[in-house]
Amino acid sequence: MTQSPKTVYLLAIESSCDDTSAAVFRNDENLANLVATQDIHRLYGGVVPEMASRAHLQNIIPVVDAAMQKAGIALDQLNAIAFTRGPGLIGSLLVGTTFAKGLALTLGLPLIEVNHMQAHVLAHFIEDPKPSFPFLCLTVSGGHTQIVLVRSYLDMEVLGNTTDDAAGEAFDKTAKILGLPYPGGPLIDKYAQLGNPKAFTFGKPKVDGLDFSFSGFKTSVLYAIQKQQKQDPEFIAHNLNDLCASIQRHIIEMLMDKLELAAKEHNIKEIAIAGGVSANSGLRKAINETGQRLGWNTYIPRFEYCTDNAAMIGITAYYKYLKGEFTTQDVSPVARYAI
């Protein structure tokens, strides 16, 4: 079938951590975005890399097939294959990269490599309303916490980074202290809605500039709880909602303080959040309230585009396709991959 040169069909694959996802795009229109999550890691209190890569191997063909079917697109209509090159778990990345390379080779198609963190930011361009350039994006996930200055689709600069744990890890590790299963972020969010955010005060590490630190906070929560348990062995059970609300308040304050500082320093009022932690209801509320106070235009992606998904890889690949940014068959994944 001959295609109008203006219509581009892209298949995008995301396999950087524990979600196997495939998306199909017609230009910048998302036709399908399917995610296979791996529940096995719940049993271990965190992602087990070896198990994640094995599960990707099992999931990748069914997920790609289902996405193509949902989009109503045949393999011979595709114009390029996109994949997450990094950052992420190397074994997980290898599955998506190798699959994309094999499919592109078989179909004689170009390959497009995508940076996972750049893709989290560009998830804002899957649907309206879209931020205008330049904007700031607070990207908060299980592996990363960054404030990114976005000058155009593919021109980004990281202004601030975590010096230790990511915000998602701060949620997950404190949840583990509370005895909650992995991933604890959504559970802290759920219980926090029933608790008093001012009930407890923990230590907040001080970091210069626009960088973040969360590991000292996690330790402060642990020590505070251990101290209370000496008087009341059931302290966590008796105070779960208040503990979750207080933990969530601290993490949000640490994020918002730096975001406010970045917005002020760079005189930018277009402010976005991205990544799994942007699903947090308290953070979404804080962004909107601070936005109203400071006259920001705020952008929060739909839930399915906050956590890991291939649609964000697809939209990034579309802009790379327009610029002719293709990758060669000798590409290999990169676990640490700067924006």
Cβ-based nearer residue to ligand KG4, 160 or 183: 183
Question: Nearer Cβ to ligand KG4, position 91 or 185?
Answer: 185
- Binding Zn ion (rule: CB under 5 A), the pick from 141, 145, 278, 309 is 141
Q: Between residue 295 and residue 324, which ones bind Zn ion under the rule CB under 5 A?
A: 308
Pairing, β 19-26 against β 29-37: antiparallel
Q: Which one among 10, 12, 13, 17 touches ligand KG4, defined by CB under 6 A?
A: 17
Pairing mode, strands 135-140 and 155-161:
unpaired
| CA-closest candidate to residue 274, choices 255, 246, 251, 248 | 255
Report the alpha-carbon distance of residue 52 to residue 174 in Å, rounded: 23
Instruction: By CB under 6 A, name the one of 178, 180, 308, 333 that touches ligand KG4.
Output: 308
Residues sharing a CB contact under 8 Å with residue 227, sequence separation 6 or more, in sequence order: none
Number of residues that bind Zn ion (CB under 5 A): 2
Closest approach of ligand KG4 to the CB of residue 251, in Å = 8
The Cα-based distances of 75 to 4, 85, 113, 170, 311 in angstroms read 17, 22, 19, 42, 18
Burial letters 59-98, b for 16+ CB under 10 A, else e: bbeebbeebbeebebeeebbbbbbbbbbbbbbbbbbbbbb
**Residue 2 in tokens:** 């001959």
Q: Which residue is nearest to ligand KG4 (CB)?
A: 276
Non-local CB neighbours of 248 within 8 Å, separated by 6+ positions: 171, 188, 189, 192, 197, 280, 282
Binding of ligand KG4 by 96 (CB under 6 A): no
**Taking the complex as a whole, how short is the minimal distance between the CB of residue 339 and Zn ion, in angstroms?**
13
What's the min distance (Å) between Cβ of 7 and ligand KG4? 30
b/e per residue 28-52 (b: at least 16 CB within 10 A): eebbbbbbbebeebeeebbbbbebb
Shortest spacing between CB 121 and ligand KG4, in angstroms:
12
Residues 23-52 that bind ligand KG4 (CB under 6 A): none
Site string for ligand KG4, 256-275 (x = CB under 6 A): -------------------x
Residue 276 interacts with ligand KG4 (CB under 6 A)? yes
Which residues, 133 to 192, sit near ligand KG4 by CB under 6 A?
141-143, 168, 171-172, 183-186, 189
Which of ligand KG4, Zn ion, none binds 172 (CB below 5-8 Å, type-dependent)? Answer: ligand KG4
Q: How far is the CB of 13 from ligand KG4 (least distance, A)?
A: 15
* Type of residue found at 238: H
Footprint of Zn ion on this chain (CB under 5 A)? 141, 308
Footprint of ligand KG4 on this chain (CB under 6 A)? 17, 141-143, 168, 171-172, 183-186, 189, 275-277, 279-280, 307-308
